[in-house]
Amino acid sequence: MTDAMQRLAVLQGRDLPVHGGRTLAYVYDSGDPEVDRVAREAVAAYAASNALDPTAFPSLLQMENELVGFACGLLEAPGSAVGTVTSGGTESILLAVQGARDSRPDVARPRMVLPSTAHAAFHKAAHYFGVEAVLVPVGADFRADAGAMAAAIDDDTVLVVASAPSYAHGVVDPVTAIAAAAAARGVRCHVDACIGGWVLPYASRLGRPVPPWTFAVDGVTSISVDTHKYAYAPKGTSLLLHRDASLRKPQFFASAAWPGYTMLNATTQSTRSGGPVAGTWAVVEHIGDDGYLALADRALAAVDAIVACIDAEPALRLVVAPDSTLVTLATDASCDPFTLTDELVARGWYVQPQLSFGDDGPSIHLSVSAGTHPHVEEFASALADSVAAAQAAGPVAVDPGVVAFIEALDPAALGDDDFDGLLAASGLVGESADGELELPSRMAEVNAMLDVASPAMREALLVAFLDRLQRPVRGSRA
Ligand SMILES: Cc1ncc(COP(=O)(O)O)c(C=O)c1O
């Protein structure tokens, strides 16, 4: 091993494990080391290849078209469908919104109608592309309210969105009614199946009840599905499919307005590493349809087992019964949810806290993979121990003075010094004895503080946090 590789191993040792089925957010683990070997080798073989020019790297074009072809089968796409490999769910969503906006040059102030549970990537798209996000509250079951969404569509609406499933609650929106309402007004309808698109088709085949969400639903014009989630591919790929080629047209960008090569792109990127494309293609080729059916069966069996242990624990409840592989749980007053999160993390189970939003209290998110299945009994005992520990620790108290202070602040009026003070007071950023930036090992106090902050204050604080994190390291350190 070279020094660089030794140092890389040391650095990587600080990260969450990506294998072992115990990291229940950010990563998706097939549990099969052979899948990881295939992915690693394919990524390495293509790391320097450039998908910018399909005539120079025709193998990447072939792989992309085969991936889209595979997805056409899963998403019940008609023969007219086309698609593009993007870098991730957010990029697929950005392009769906940009394409919808640019398909309607007649609309001066474009709007898109979103259920309030739509992924934050749509808010990013609204921000980037000047499309107003019209948020429609969801029903008591956390599913989009199709009637209210239909009523929110107007002459300036360029896109209507549904999730299959939503990230925060793991439920599938009523796509049939939403897409019909969009079609009735001649508006595009995008289904965000970033997280469910590679698992729901197999759930259906396994005989589980899955509400309709694919291109088989009239009025659905585009669907995003992330291969770097439940296709168990390496990070860096998602697919954006359109019902026909005319819908994709505004997504393309060409520029001959400079002296170099004519730029020609289907995504926001220009140079695109061949690594993730080849890694994804190789994993999909290796696992295949039957393999994905078996992996979905395992992931869903793990979900059932986790749901059963939540049901068996009096201090816990499911926020809503999952439609897919995402589980959202909440605690009763005896068990602080943020302490429970820390206790699970301390036992090697990474789960993701979700802050209060509107009238809904905090919750805990679990993205369950096939790789979790062999470990569900360990999870059950870690959960029981963590609940007991959180109950023994009692509630996390946020100083009422701090609450009043945070509530009174207008983030727009704060300067850098204020944020330095707030970050230190919140415990998000500390300094070690040698002046190094130090992150908290337990997050309960920080999350409890963020939980009482307004969404605008959360955003501002976390942006300030990221700004402090992203500072140059001059000279390498061990
Ligand atoms: C439903 C949904 N949409 C979009 C995204 C964004 O995907 P990415 O993080 O790959 O950009 C996610 C990510 O979890 C998601 O769950």
pLDDT tens digits for 406-457? 888 889 888 989 888 888 877 788 777 777 777 888 899 989 989 999 999 9
Q: Residues lining ligand 1, CB < 6 A?
A: 88-90, 93, 119, 121, 163, 167, 192, 194-195, 226, 238
Which of 119, 143, 198 is the pocket-test mutation for ligand 1 (most atoms within 8 Å of CB)? 119
Mean pLDDT, residues 262-268 taken together: 98
> In this structure, are 279 and 416 located in the same domain?
no
Q: Closest ligand 1 atom to the C-alpha of 238?
A: 10
- Of 224, 254, 285, which closes a domain? 285
Which pLDDT band, with edges at 50, 70 and 90, does 477 fall under? low
Q: Is residue 384 part of a domain?
A: no
For residue 149, give every residue at least 6 positions away whose Cβ sits within 8 Å of its Cβ, in sequence order, or none.
113, 115, 136, 160, 178, 181
Q: Which residues contact 388 (CB under 8 A, 6 or more apart)?
A: none
- If you measure from the C-alpha of residue 258 to the centroid of ligand 1, how many angstroms do you get, rounded to a whole number? 35
pLDDT in tens, 130-174: 999 999 999 999 999 999 999 999 999 999 999 999 999 999 999
- Vertex 170 angle, CA 442 and 143, to 5°: 125
Rounded distance from Cα 268 to ligand 1 centre (Å): 17
**Is 388 a member of any domain?**
no
278 plus 420 within the same structural domain: no
Residues 102 and 246 in one domain: yes
- The atom number, within ligand 1, closest to the CA of 196 reads 1
Domain interval for residue 430 = 400-469
Atom 2 in ligand 1: residue holding the nearest Cα: 194
Asked if residue 478 has pLDDT above 60, the reply is no
Residue whose CA lies nearest to ligand 1 atom number 4:
89
Q: Residue 119 Cα, ligand 1 centroid: separation in angstroms?
A: 7
Give the domain-ending residue among 285, 302, 328: 285
Residue 476 forms part of a structural domain = no
Q: Which atom of ligand 1 is nearest to the CA of 91?
A: 11
Confidence of residue 1 (pLDDT cuts 50, 70, 90): low
Out of 12-26, 140-154, 217-231, 420-434, least confident range? 420-434
Rounded distance, CA 286 to CA 210, Å? 26
Q: What's the CATH number where 185 sits?
A: 3.40.640.10
Domains contained in the chain, number = 2
Assigned domain for 113 exists: yes
- Residue 16 Cα to ligand 1 middle (Å): 19
Distance CA 59, CA 282 (A): 12
Query: How confident is the model over 111-133, as a mean pLDDT?
Result: 98
Ligand 1 midpoint to CA 193 (Å): 9
Strand partners, 364: 329, 353
Section 379-396 average pLDDT = 97
Candidate from 143, 167, 172 with most ligand 1 atoms within 8 A of CB, to mutate: 167
In a domain? residue 407 = yes
Q: Which helix (H) or strand (E) holds 310?
A: helix 274-311
Is 349 a residue whose pLDDT tops 70? yes
Ligand 1, atom 5, lies closest to the CA of 89
pLDDT confidence tier of residue 405, bands split at 50, 70 and 90: confident
The whole-number pLDDT of residue 128 equals 98
Residue 167 CA: which ligand 1 atom is closest?
16
Centre of ligand 1 to C-alpha 447, Å, is 22
Distance 89 CA to ligand 1 centre (A): 5
Among residues 285, 314, 347, which one ends one of the domains?
285
Please report the pLDDT score of residue 427 as a whole number: 79
In a domain, 58, yes or no: yes
* Greatest mean pLDDT among 385-389, 432-436, 462-466, 470-474: 385-389
* Ligand 1 mean position, distance from CA 49 (Å): 26
Distance from the alpha carbon of residue 228 to the mean position of ligand 1, in angstroms: 10
The residue whose CA has the least distance to atom 7 of ligand 1 is 89
Ligand 1 centroid–CA 402 distance in Å is 33
- Chain centroid to Cα 212, Å, comes to 21
pLDDT digits (tens, 9 = 90+) for 309-342: 999 999 999 999 999 999 999 999 999 999 999 9
* Ligand 1 centroid, distance to 7 Cα (angstroms): 31
Residues of the chain with pLDDT > 70, as a percent, come to 99
Contact 173, 164 (CB under 8 A): yes
Task: Give pLDDT, residue 422.
Answer: 83
Within-domain flag for 212? yes
275 has a pLDDT exceeding 60: yes
Per DSSP (E only), the strands in 108-168 are 111-115, 132-136, 157-163
Q: Are 89 and 212 found together in one domain? A: yes
Q: Which of 66, 87, 78, 399 is nearest to 227 (CA)?
A: 87
- What are 327's two structure tokens? 């589980």
Centre of ligand 1 to C-alpha 62, Å, is: 26
Beta bridge partners of 431: 437
**Which tokens in the block code for residue 414?**
């704060």
- Residue 149 inside a domain? The answer is yes
Q: Report the pLDDT averaged over residues 175-193.
A: 99
Q: How far is CA 200 from CA 172, 299, 324, 402, 440, in A?
A: 10, 11, 7, 44, 37
Give residue 440's pLDDT: 83
Mutate to test the pocket of ligand 1, among 23, 90, 367, 369 (most ligand atoms within 8 A of CB): 90
Whole-number Cα distances in Å, 465 to 35, 124, 421: 36, 19, 11
Give the confidence band of 2 by pLDDT, cuts at 50, 70, 90: low
Task: Give residue 203's pLDDT band: very low, low, confident or very high (50, 70, 90).
Answer: very high
User: What is the three-class DSSP state of 299?
Assistant: helix
Q: How many helices (H) and strands (E) does the chain have?
A: 16, 15
Same-domain pairing of 281 and 417: no
pLDDT of amino acid 81: 98
Q: Relative to the CA of 195, which ligand 1 atom is closest?
A: 16
Report the Cα 116 to chain-centroid distance in Å.
15
Q: Ligand 1, residues 123, 194, 240, 280: which to mutate, most atoms within 8 A of Cβ?
A: 194
Q: Lowest-pLDDT range, 39-48, 181-190, 344-353, 428-437? A: 428-437
